[in-house]
Amino acid sequence: MTTAHLMNNYGQRKMTLAKGEGAWVWDTQGRRYLDCVSGIAVCGLGHCHPEITRVIQEQAATLVHTSNLYNISWQERLADLLCQTGGMERAFFCNSGAEANEAAIKLARLKAYAKGISAPEIIVMDDAFHGRTLATLSATSGAKVQKGFAPLVTGFIRVPYGDAEAVAAAGTANTVAVLVEPIQGEAGINIPASDYLPRLRELCDSNDWLLMLDEIQSGNGRTGTFFAWQHSGAAPDVLTTAKGLGNGLPIGACLARGEAAEFFSAGSHGSTYGGNPLVCRVAHRVVEIINEEHLAPRAKQLGSWLVSEFRQRLTDHAGVKDIRGAGLMLAIEMHADCGDLVGLAAEQGLLINVTGGNRVRLLPPLTFTDSQAEQMVKTLVPLIATWQGTQA
């Protein structure tokens, strides 16, 4: 087997994973790893969660796909549950995070249309990541994601992340929405001050803009509440999520409330696969399990412990710039690029991720046990200490 017939769009490690169970994965050589990445914040319940496997099998043997030509009862049940859990009113289901953001951007365009604005603007942030379709890469920050894809979709105005007054200053008569991650994930776990979202909410209220939160990475229990906005109480008008919602099955959701929940009409948006019976039934069980097993508060408690352990053991190391986290969305920021830590950690049986060049990003399953968390600390701390030694 080779990658010869695959396009070259991924910089993959030469490692093939063959099996998973909870927080453990095994490669094709039979080596075992503790997975502190969860498929990039996707397998929040761990790999091959027995109840999720059972539900996949049962639904696969009942009905997988019908298209949206017909009512889909599991889609309706999932919409009810997600809206109750997240304080929203209506849901649109798709197959990925980028598609969920496409839906949100289209809602903002429809708001502009309703207001008679012909050149609408959406305020987006420095260091944002919203996906890789043309509209979402245009909303995303950075030459790396945008290079070669001009002309970009227009109508995105960019301001510094975490600075609500910059948003206030950027607003014009054409502004219709603010699109923002409550915590930036791909940028390396950037956590804004606690008054940031409430201030954005005020600005959106007073200017008649939609507050659109991208919770594709921060949602589904990861940061200590089901959605990250629930830490602040600043409810969005539009919320997008994906990743942890399906525990590995491809599903995205764009949730809305108020006028934004009513903008789509029959034919204005859609997806052949989106919200099929299989993915919706599985996502419904995922949300139930996150709620029933109190996995969000558990993420908060374990995340606080991990941050304090890493701070105690690593703060004095010269190479370490900052240690931060919200629930199980954690980063150890180094002064220098540290991508080689990924391979060094894998040699020690630990899967980690480095993003933004110098940020070790940790996104373990919400079901991580105390002893797995201890093992992560015990393996990673000396590794980072040694790495600093070798770089010095």
**Local structure of 241: helix, strand or coil:** strand
Judged by beta carbon, residue 215 or residue 309, the one nearer ligand PLP is: 215
Taking the complex as a whole, the smallest distance from the CB of residue 136 to ligand PLP amounts, in Å, to 7
Judged by beta carbon, residue 342 or residue 344, the one nearer ligand PLP is: 342
Taking the complex as a whole, the smallest distance from the CB of residue 345 to ligand PLP amounts, in Å, to 20
Taking the complex as a whole, the smallest distance from the CB of residue 217 to ligand PLP amounts, in Å, to 4
Closest residue to ligand PLP using C-beta atoms: 97
Say if CB 283 and CB 243 are below 8 A apart: no
Judged by beta carbon, residue 239 or residue 350, the one nearer ligand PLP is: 239
Judged by beta carbon, residue 124 or residue 242, the one nearer ligand PLP is: 242
Q: Return the structure tokens found at 145.
A: 């994601």
Which of 62, 24, 13, 39 lies closest to 371 in space, CA to CA?
A: 24
Taking the complex as a whole, the smallest distance from the CB of residue 298 to ligand PLP amounts, in Å, to 22
Q: CA-CA distance, 98 to 94, in Å (whole number)?
A: 9
Taking the complex as a whole, the smallest distance from the CB of residue 185 to ligand PLP amounts, in Å, to 4
Provide the CA 282 distance to its chain's centre, in angstroms. Answer: 18
Taking the complex as a whole, the smallest distance from the CB of residue 269 to ligand PLP amounts, in Å, to 17
Burial of 204 (0-12, 13-18, 19+ CB in 10 A): buried
Q: Which residues contact ligand PLP (rule: CB under 6 A)?
A: 40, 96-98, 101, 129-131, 181, 185-186, 214, 216-217, 242
Say if CB 221 and CB 250 are below 8 A apart: no
> The tokens 């599903």 sit on which residue?
251
Judged by beta carbon, residue 96 or residue 372, the one nearer ligand PLP is: 96
Q: CA-CA distance, 107 to 134, in Å (whole number)?
A: 16
Judged by beta carbon, residue 35 or residue 214, the one nearer ligand PLP is: 214
Residue 52's Cβ-side half-sphere holds a number of Cα atoms within 13 Å equal to: 25
